Amino acid sequence: MEIFDILVYSRGDKPVDLLLTHAKIINVFSGEIVEGDIAIAGGWIVGIGDYQAVEIRDLSGRFVAPGFIDPHVHIESSMTCMSQFARAVVPHGTTTVVADPHEIANVFGILGIEYMLQSSENQPMNAYFTLSSCVPATSMETSGARLDAVDLLPLMSHNRIVALAEMMNYPGVIHGDPDVLSKIRLARQYRKPVDGHSPGLTGKELNAYIASGISSDHECTTAAEAREKLMAGMHIFIRQGTGAQNLHDLLQIVTPRTFHRIMWCTDDSDPHDLLNVGHIDSVVRESIASGVDPIQAIRMATLNPAEYFGLHHLGAIAPGRQADMVVFSDLNTPVIEQVYCNGVKVAENGTMSPDIHVPETLALPRSMRVTLKTLDFSIPLAGDRIRVIEIVPNQLITGSITAAPTIFQNAAISDSDRDILKIAVVDRHSGSGNVGKGFVKGFGLKQGAIASSVAHDSHNIIVVGTTDEDMKAAVKAVVLMGGGLSVVSGGRSIAKLALPIAGLMSQEPVHVVWNHLNRLLICTREIGSTLQNPFMTLSFLSLPVIPDLKITDKGLVDVKRFQIVPLFV
């Protein structure tokens, strides 16, 4: 709507489209609750007060807050396409996401980013994106694409590209890698923020990282780490998702002096959490229950991310802002009852409004180049000690230990009694035949194998198992589906989930995906897994930018040294 039209409605010269009366309005600017009426025209808030209206809805004293914003999320981690993701999160009050499409970008490059932009059009929510900065995340893996600054340039001026995505190659930043710096320079040229990714970085290295122009971080796991980054000028995204839950460890940094530079994010949420826990609304509720002031908690989910990304038409209930709002009855436990986006009620009582159109899914080519006949997971003995990835429950970081290998016929094999299992990553992009092999502790499998084409960030096929034969069968099941998750026992596939969109996403509704995923999780428990979500854990063991020890199709990666290291010590 043009400014002149807004003025006509704001002055009261013409009846507005909708007037929400008897509302308790959360004013995120002043930190107050104001009783009043909200006037909406053409999808915009044109005033607060008594207006003539075509339609009047009485909110009967319920609270109204701005629609929630997730400032850092990977939609692909929901395992559903954009349309189904919107159906899942909008009823929870999320009216805006700022998504990093680097999962699909690592498979399809610019085509993947354009796919996400196109498939997010005309959704019943606002979808903005950050331009994936690390495709691939490192040179120590095989990805489906490589994006340099010149590749990103045509998209940097897109009106829904709001930042350069998380800069995971922090050694490249610190040591002045020309390609890395050219991407940062490009974002600054377009006056867009650069999101960070610097787990555990401190001291002079952190100074160098921030001095390059990087302005946020979502990887903090301790209050001390978050405080140092906050004091150095970073905006802190407190992450509470499926793969990593940092809320309670970081809550002490949320104070009346700091909360305006802190916001909530989910990063990665699987279908179970989207259905049964919620989205940003659940983080808001949990933070309030833990002692955060309700209005501060809401501001951290609304105005703070809007201001950080320069989305000044969002994040508040005020004249000239887009009419994105959530309605609830209890300030201390805000359960979302109604959701408005662009002035239209799009969801009520946890369900999308039946007359809201959600676009159909677009198509993408298959992305599997694996020769199954030549797969070999054997590890010939080459020493007395092996490096082992050690899982840290509910965290993305891993430990690194050494152990004596279990030996059979002069080869290192899985040992379920010690919970030291073979793990491998198979290149699915280039047809190189690369297979990185190693060992991991913490899955608890007593038999069988599990495999997945969701393997951050290059999304090759990752597999862990008790025998080579079951590992091969699990990978074969993934390849034949065109991507997905599989559980195998005794050479037989006992559960699977097809993810044909880039090997990452399904066209099915989130509850259907969850039903398949739930069956997968039940089967992993039946074969011995002790993890809450072994597939989420597995998917991050190939991410060579989060300490300490990870694995790619090129081998084991010592993340602190940022180099490939031998399996045998």
Residues 441, 300 within the same domain: no
Domain that holds residue 172: 67-311
Please tell me the predicted confidence (pLDDT) of residue 363.
74
Encode pLDDT of 504-534 as tens digits: 999 999 999 999 999 999 999 999 999 988 9
Residue 135 has a pLDDT of 93
Q: Are residues 127 and 276 in the same domain?
A: yes
396 and 247 fall within a common domain: no
Residue 394 pLDDT exceeds 80: no
Q: Is residue 347 pLDDT above 90, yes or no?
A: yes
Residue 185 parent element (H or E): helix 178-189
Mean pLDDT, rounded, for 497-510: 95
Both 237 and 128 in a single domain? yes
pLDDT greater than 80 at residue 361: no
Instruction: Please give the tally of structural domains in the chain.
Output: 2
Q: Return the percentage of the chain with pLDDT > 70, whole number.
A: 100
Strand partners, 423: 438, 464
Domain closes at, from 276, 295, 311: 311
Q: Sorting pLDDT into bands at 50, 70 and 90, what band is 227?
A: very high
355 in a domain, yes or no?
no
Residues 306 and 386 in one domain: no
Average pLDDT over the chain, rounded to an integer? 95
* Average pLDDT over every residue of 164-171: 93
According to the model, what pLDDT value does residue 5 have?
87
Share of the chain above pLDDT 90, in %: 91
What pLDDT, on the 0 to 100 scale, is given for residue 178? Answer: 95
> What DSSP state is assigned to residue 350?
T
Q: Which carries the bigger pLDDT value, residue 394 or residue 174?
A: 174
> Across residues 278-292, what is the average pLDDT?
98
Q: Could you tell me whether strands 68-73 and 94-99 are parallel, antiparallel, or unpaired per DSSP bridges?
A: parallel
Does residue 280 sit in the same domain as residue 381?
no
Per-residue pLDDT at 357 exceeds 80: no
Instruction: Please state the rounded mean pLDDT for residues 131-151.
Output: 93
Task: Work out the burial of residue 299: count CB atoms within 10 Å of its CB; fewer than 13 is exposed, 13-18 middle, 19 or more buried.
Answer: buried
pLDDT tens for each residue of 198-224: 999 999 999 999 999 999 999 999 999
Measured between alpha carbons, how far is 504 from 502 in angstroms, rounded to an integer? 5
152 plus 254 within the same structural domain: yes
Average confidence (pLDDT) over 399-426 = 98
Assess if residue 360 is contained within a domain: no
Domain boundary among 292, 311, 330: 311
Task: Please check whether residues 297 and 394 belong to one and the same domain.
Answer: no
What pLDDT, on a 0 to 100 scale, did the predictor assign at position 352? 93
- For helices 110-119 and 82-89, give the axis angle rounded to 10 degrees: 50
Q: What is the pLDDT of residue 540?
A: 92
The span from the CA of 312 to the CA of 102, in Å, is 25
Please report the pLDDT score of residue 393 as a whole number. 83
Concatenating the DSSP letter of every residue in 460-524 gives -EEEEESSHHHHHHHHHHHHHTTSEEEEEETTEEEEEEE-TBTTTBBSS-HHHHHHHHHHHHHHH
* Any domain includes 121: yes
Sign of the C-alpha dihedral, residues 129, 130, 135, 138?
A: negative
Specify the pLDDT at position 423: 98
pLDDT of amino acid 230: 98
For 43-57, the pLDDT digits (tens) are 999 999 999 999 999
Q: Is there a domain that residue 153 lies in?
A: yes
Tell whether 232 and 305 lie within a shared domain. Answer: yes
The last residue of one of the domains, among 258, 290, 311, is 311
Residue 329: pLDDT band by 50, 70, 90 thresholds?
very high
- Local confidence band at 341 (pLDDT 50, 70, 90 cut-offs): very high
State the pTM of this model.
0.91
Do residue 419 and residue 304 come from a single domain?
no
CATH of the domain at 165: 3.20.20.140
Q: What is the pLDDT of residue 362?
A: 74
Same domain, 271 and 400: no
pLDDT in tens, 462-483: 999 999 999 999 999 999 999 9
Identify whether 240 is part of a domain: yes
Among 303-312, 361-370, 527-536, where is mean pLDDT lowest? Answer: 361-370
- Are residues 156 and 279 part of one domain? yes
- CA pair distance 179, 281, nearest whole angstrom: 38
Q: What is the pLDDT of residue 244?
A: 82
Tell me if the bond preceding 548 is cis, omega within 30° of 0: yes
**CB hemisphere CA count around 440 (13 angstroms):** 31
Q: What is the pLDDT of residue 1?
A: 78
Decide if 41 is inside a domain. no
Quick one: pLDDT at residue 434? 97
d(CA 149, CA 126): 26
Look at residue 213 and tell me if it is in a domain: yes
Q: Is the pLDDT of residue 163 over 90?
A: yes
Q: Are 54 and 17 in contact (CB under 8 A)?
A: yes
Cβ-contact 116, 104 below 8 angstroms:
yes
Residue 155 falls within a domain, yes or no? Answer: yes
How many Å from the N-terminal Cα to the C-terminal Cα in the chain?
A: 66
Residue scoring higher pLDDT (448 or 362): 448
Least confident of 226-230, 295-299, 350-354, 538-542: 350-354
